[in-house]
A and B are shown apart, each in its own frame.
Chain A
């Protein structure tokens, strides 16, 4: 069974600090998505990465897909209180559209 492990589970930092969260699997990802979920709302898609070694940037967020496509990271530069939320990675079970989600990293950025 493919499992997505995310670390750290919780992270509390001061505004302006940098941080990195991770998503790992024992299986190879065909593609991987990152979502952010705010309290009381559904997850919102941030990015999809497909190619091993791929790097995508979304303003202060940098997403990297591991060369072997078994891990991914999300780096936030100069975090802001608006970045607070639950960050989830998701990947499809091979050959299907059944997306499984990691357990998430709960980020709190203090002003």
Chain B
């Protein structure tokens, strides 16, 4: 298996623009998580899905952020409009059973909003 695949690896955008981050989880993994990592705040959980259904989105910063999982093999995280404070590395992770097997993380998308 190719692991969790995220695209793009790097994204530079201007403030106010829409940004879409993409994730392909490992086949057979029922759980999908979106995290954001910064030096100041570390890894923060934004939202997670189970069987394509959003279970908890309490970590989503505000209405500018939205996430979808239209099927078991694809998820998106959208920021509209983007702001400089959204600059971070965004990780997608998937799991078959988080407690017993942990997460498999993608390589992340480094977002810079100027």
Residues of A within 8 A of B (CB): 30-31, 33, 35, 40-45, 48, 88, 90, 92, 96-104
Contacts and interface: CB of A to CB of B under 8 A. Distances in A.
B81 interface: no
B84 interface: no
A45 B56 contact: no
Contacts of A41: 105, 107-108
Interface of B: 4, 31, 33, 42-43, 45, 48, 50, 55-56, 91, 93, 98-108
Given A100-B45, A101-B43, A42 B98 contact: no
A12 B103 CA distance: 28
A48 B42 contact: no
Contact of B42 (A33, A97, A98, A104): A104
Given A88-B43, A98-B45, A99-B98, A42 B106 contact: yes
A99 B42 CA distance: 13
A103 B39 CA distance: 9
Contacts of A42: 4, 91, 93, 105-108
